[in-house]
Chain A
């Protein structure tokens, strides 16, 4: 009936813009459980998967920062480091909850201060400013030896024990649970007034202002969220490595964080997970190529950047549309 009544233009592909918030965390938890109970991967594969999950957590906040608020940071390795070192220093003497929260709080406070100072700058200068922030982090890690133990790093960090599991399996389970939590938060944010305000601030700051949105405040909020999720991801990276070391949290790590949502398709809710699989797992499984490994990886990333500016999300959307066309003849 509506088909008859519907006016003028043919309805363009209706994009359902709201999802049931629990579907994505549920899928992640189910897949995680299936990996542990059914697939039972070997120790190397499980390590890679855990690292993927840890980076996916860190990338959730980054996806919000880049995809929602439209701000690019190259310094988020500092927040990974805050989480990682807080875990390594506090987990054994003070317990996991204190360690995790301490990392989150330290990262959050740094992000608020840096965000207020730096987000006055225009996009490119902000990126340069965060680069300095990351470099500052490296200097502190290497030289503040009384806390960080310098280049040697801190060992014997311990790990989260969940569901009676031990070793890497337990870290993996913790990473999957935390990833589900952050993905839930991501979707809750996207449909909330704050998330919508971030998105309109990215597209059209003057219009956002006219709508009563404080654009710089939403950007700081996104920056803080990216710091918090990076701190949690950093804590998991430290657990997996058995400690915190400066090399884990170098600029390379920050670049990986930046590339993950862009490869995945910035702003897409699956971007952190899909991007982390490509960016973290792919280089590991290309090891059989020996010294050509990074060259091949670089070419792959370049191809995505050239032909899929919307990231893998673009590919998925195209596939969905194609399947839809086939079905409707």
Chain B
């Protein structure tokens, strides 16, 4: 069995300044095997992947690949050398070339045969090769269910679809060892199933998979072995169930993950009170005037409306959750409200019209926006990043007051105010992004997938922070896949599908049937919900027209 393709690392270590990000880690993946890597934010999971893929050079330790019976030492080899040996790495956020079509992005992964550069001369033989490459790319796209998106520029796909395109690229690359960095984060349940079955079938076809993942349900489903990291060291390793049952692991990392703040879709009960703060209910029964009111919002990508006919209203201290499958246009709604995309319709904040104004104007007038991608200025310190956010806002409160508030909500960030933002872990950076919106003194905060990339143990404290924010009188609009978080922090829910609202109502009424309707487009067995929005039969929505004419 010695000639099985195997990637193994011994004693890997790397330090960034004083931080020992990875400190003596052993890990091994063989073909046909799936190894899960789990750990809290900042445990060193992504750094481990960087060391294995060659993006970061280790200070100590060895990386070896056995391939076709030959062993290659790769300690200092660049990423491209490893890629050619079949070690393919997928990044946490999809990294596609936005201008190239989905198919061309996948073609980039197709291994180039010897002398492929001759194709650049446009010789007659190149056509056959180009056709073969194109077919391979289209097959891979079909496997992830995106065959009909092949010709579309990658930048115009939703983030979930971009992730699937990158998955297709890994498929097309003929990878022997696949390094996956949280492939499920920010994906809808249906897309998760597609990705999970892809990973399972790749493993069964003999690909070795190293799976860094927060979602332990997926790790349990897919992995044969699991490595638990904690502060750069291996806390435990071994068969999945045993390791995850290890009391030390449960105590140190897992904590209360099985408490599952992510309330299941089929769970018809209201979410259990997962945090000390009681589940928020509207403070007084009389309807209060909305602080943010959006009417008939249409948001455009180029000439095509990606979102159409969205109305929403949030009162001060209220929470609105926007849910729906990938590509439903949830993030698009937020970007339209923030003025980051071309939009029509009215946007009023505290009675003032904001539609048609530039984004900085909206931010100065009390709108806060936390994008999904982590956007801290890495060279500046945490405090300087926060000051930037404060400068862009209304400055109704002093910076010191704003910092105090940050300290209340995100103590972990306030404690590292002098550190450069680049030294924060992914989860901490997400907190920084939210804190940066908060110091601007907003009346409404729009949050785009705030828990994507957040360790499960941090989700409950995060929900707690949102609730306190609401108690402070700030209105919150959250786009989120974690329905448990939405139910714990929001008073109303808006369900989107295919760019149009399909459900809206108070959180208590959002039950399994409603979720089925929103996410699976399944006719709910019993429509108990108050207002599944009926599409008007008279005027077909422009989106459908677009489909018919294309």
Contact = CB atoms under 8 A, between A and B. Distances in A.
Interface of A: 2-3, 6-17, 21, 184-185, 187-189, 191-197, 199-200, 203-204, 206-207, 209-214, 221, 267, 321, 324-325, 328
Contacts of A200: 97, 100, 108
Given A204-B95, A210-B53, A185 B122 contact: yes
12 contacts: A7-B327, A8-B498, A10-B543, A12-B301, A15-B153, A197-B108, A199-B99, A199-B100, A210-B89, A324-B303, A325-B303, A328-B549
Interface of B: 53-55, 78-80, 83-84, 88-89, 91, 95, 97-101, 103-104, 107-112, 116-117, 119-122, 126, 130, 133, 148, 151-153, 156, 158, 169, 173, 301-306, 325-329, 497-499, 543, 546-550
Nearest to A202: B97
Contacts of B126: 188, 192
Contact of A3 (B53, B79, B130, B550): B550
The 6 closest A-B pairs by CB, nearest first: A188-B122, A212-B83, A192-B119, A209-B79, A207-B95, A12-B156
B80 A192 contact: no
B325 to A, nearest CB: 7
A191 B148 CA distance: 20
Contacts of A189: 120, 122
Contacts of A17: 100-101, 103-104, 151, 153
A9 B78 contact: no
Nearest to A190: B120
Contact of B151 (A15, A191, A214, A267): A15
A8 B302 CA distance: 18
Contact of B122 (A13, A21, A210, A214): A21
Contacts of B95: 204, 206-207
Given A199-B100, A203-B98, A206-B55, A11 B120 contact: no
B326 to A, nearest CB: 8
B548 A211 contact: no
Given A8-B328, A188-B120, A191-B130, 16 more contacts: A2-B148, A8-B325, A8-B498, A10-B305, A10-B547, A11-B547, A12-B301, A17-B100, A192-B116, A199-B97, A209-B55, A210-B80, A212-B83, A213-B108, A321-B302, A325-B303
A21 B124 CA distance: 12
Contact of B148 (A6, A204, A213): A6
Give the interface centre of B84, B108, B133 by most chain A CB atoms within 10 Å: B108
A210 B547 contact: no
B306 A9 contact: yes
Contacts of B53: 210
Give the interface centre of A17, A192, A203 by most chain B CB atoms within 10 Å: A192
B152 A14 contact: yes
Nearest to A12: B156
Contact of B498 (A9, A213, A325): A9
A13 B97 contact: no
A210 B88 contact: yes
Contacts of B119: 188, 192-194
Contacts of B100: 17, 196, 199-200
Given A188-B122, A212-B83, A214-B80, A11 B55 contact: no
B15 to A, nearest CB: 20
A187 B88 CA distance: 29
Give the interface centre of A8, A191, A194, A207 by most chain B CB atoms within 10 Å: A8
Contacts of A204: 95, 97
B304 A12 contact: yes
Given A188-B126, A213-B80, A16 B151 contact: yes
B168 to A, nearest CB: 13
Contacts of A13: 302-304
A91 to B, nearest CB: 26
A321 B300 CA distance: 13
A91 B313 CA distance: 77
Given A10-B305, A12-B156, A188-B121, A210 B91 contact: yes
Given A12-B152, A199-B97, A321-B303, A211 B120 contact: no
Given A196-B100, A203-B97, A204-B97, A184 B303 contact: no
Contacts of A191: 130
B258 to A, nearest CB: 32
Contact of B548 (A3, A16, A212, A321): A3
B546 A11 contact: yes
B78 A209 contact: yes
Contacts of B173: 211
B303 A212 contact: no
B151 A212 contact: no
A54 to B, nearest CB: 22
Nearest to B542: A10
Nearest to B161: A9
Given A10-B499, A17-B151, A188-B122, A207 B101 contact: no
Give the interface centre of A209, A212, A213, A324 by most chain B CB atoms within 10 Å: A212
Nearest to A181: B122
Nearest to A4: B547
A284 B52 CA distance: 58
Contacts of B305: 10
Given A14-B151, A15-B151, A210 B55 contact: yes
Nearest to B117: A194
Nearest to B169: A211
Contact of A8 (B151, B152, B327): B327
